[in-house]
Structure 1
């Protein structure tokens, strides 16, 4: 068993987003990646991206949208984005939004401009 303590979990930041790495191949899980996603108030991805695996978003707090034309989700809601569907995360509220995310390890992403992205550091 591998334990990832909250105080020791690696954190990665992009503008308006913090990723807290939980399970991943480098943290004891060969097949599954999970992380906590914290979105700043009003944060919205500028462009969509797709993944080659299904991704699950579970809302802990806040009001979010996960896909460009998706429904508003709140605490306790979950969304499964099927591989290949566009993802464009947005925090619709005035407070930080917190989600847990899960996906199969080894995924690859593609940005809207066609750029291929390998699994990021929080999922490696």
Structure 2
């Protein structure tokens, strides 16, 4: 059974967001990817994108806002983003937010400009 220790998990940084890779094919999970997001306070916009699989966001602390719906989520809340729905993640709060994300392994993201990606934290 693979164990992913927090201190040893790979980290990736995008402007305003830190990704900590947890379950993924390279870390022993063939069917599921999970990662932890730390979203800076006041992040007004993440890059809009769509995914070809359903994605689940589970808020542990702070507040995040998922668009296009614009719903604010707080600790204990979860949102399911259906495959193909465009999404942006923001943090309208005054403190960092911590969110866990889960999605089926092998997914592909498509950015607003049509570029496709398979992010390194999910490999």
Distance 1:14 1:47, change over 3 A: closer
TM-score when scaled to structure 1?
0.95
Q: Number of paired residues?
A: 123
Give the Cα separation in 2 of the matches to 1:39 and 1:46: 10
Distance 1:101 1:36 in 2: 6
CA–CA distance in structure 1, aligned partners of residues 71 and 102 of structure 2:
19
Report the equivalent of 1:72: 72
Contact 1:25 1:123 in 2 (8 A): yes
SS in structure 1 opposite 2:73? coil
5+ long unaligned stretches in structure 1: none
Aligned partners of 1:113, 1:96: CA distance in 2, in Å? 28
2:32 is aligned with 1:32: yes
Q: What RMSD, in angstroms, separates the aligned Cα atoms of the two structures?
A: 1.0
Structure 1 residue runs of 4 or more that deviate by more than 6 Å after TM superposition: none
For residues 21 and 65 of structure 2, the distance between their equivalents in structure 1, rounded to whole angstroms, comes to 21
1:34 is paired with a residue whose SS is strand
Q: Cα distance 1:85–1:121, how it changes in 2: closer, same or farther (>3 A)?
A: same
Give the structure-2-normalised TM-score. Answer: 0.96
- Does the CA contact (< 8 Å) of 1:25 and 1:105 recur in 2? yes
- Which residue of structure 2 aligns with residue 10 of structure 1? 10
Aligned to 2:82: 82
